Structure 1
Amino acid sequence: MQQQERVLVKHSVTGRMLVSSTDGLTYSFDPEGELTLIKIYGVSPAQGTAVVELNSELNVFRFEEPAEGPVIKHWYYVGDNPVRYDADTECLSITVQSEIEYRPDEYWE
């Protein structure tokens, strides 16, 4: 069995799910110096608009789910970095400035 991975974009205040790669979306992570550009493809205009409107209140997560071993969570801090949506290509671009990696199994059993 191969490792699974998923990406989620949530509203940090309400916890509302805005975008999830489990909906068949694809994504990429591209380091750009001290920042990372996350691109999520196949995002609907309604989702893209909601994310851009809430750009200062976003939580972005990446979950690594290995076939053997515990889940590894990555939390990305957006801050005041650019969040853009291109309706023509259905591409959501989120620039993040930091990442915190943690394993839930280290906090509770």
Structure 2
Amino acid sequence: MKEVFLIKHAVGGRAFVDTGKHPIPYTWEQVGDQWIFTVQIEKKEDIAELLKWKEELNVFLFQEFENEPTKKLWFYVGDDSVHYSEEKGELTIVAKSQIVYIPDQFSAQL
């Protein structure tokens, strides 16, 4: 499986992180009813703009499987859910809800 990780400002806004275009180390795990994302971002200038919009971020995972349609996971980031540690160069995002969908299963109806 290939996975692309995105952090975006709102739904249609700009992407701050897109591992499909610029790979960076990240991990994610579900803990109870929330998902915790840890991203290594060491340059202060790369994180400053993201942190300005930390109350309006969405996280996406696009999971591509061989011989299967791409699965998209959309995570909603709540208030006070984005933190950055300068010491570790580590961004942590906690999401409390998600939607999982497969775009190929949706069709436009006219």
Shorter-chain-normalised TM-score: which range? Answer: 0.7 to 0.9
TM-score (norm 1): 0.86
Name the CA shift for 1:11/1:68 in 2 (closer, same or farther; >3 Å). Answer: same
TM-score (norm 2): 0.85
Counterpart in the other structure of 2:19: 21
Classify the secondary structure of the residue corresponding to 2:13. coil
Task: State the number of aligned residues.
Answer: 107
Classify the secondary structure of the residue corresponding to 2:87. coil
Counterpart in the other structure of 1:30: 29
**Residues 49 and 85, structure 1, Cα contact 8 Å, conserved in 2:** no
Q: Cα RMSD between the aligned structures?
A: 1.9
Greater than 4 Å deviation, 4+ residue runs:
none
Counterpart in the other structure of 2:3: 5
Where structure 1 has 5 or more consecutive residues not aligned to the other structure, the ranges are none
Q: Considering fraction of residues, name the structure with more strand.
A: 2
Counterpart in the other structure of 2:59: 60
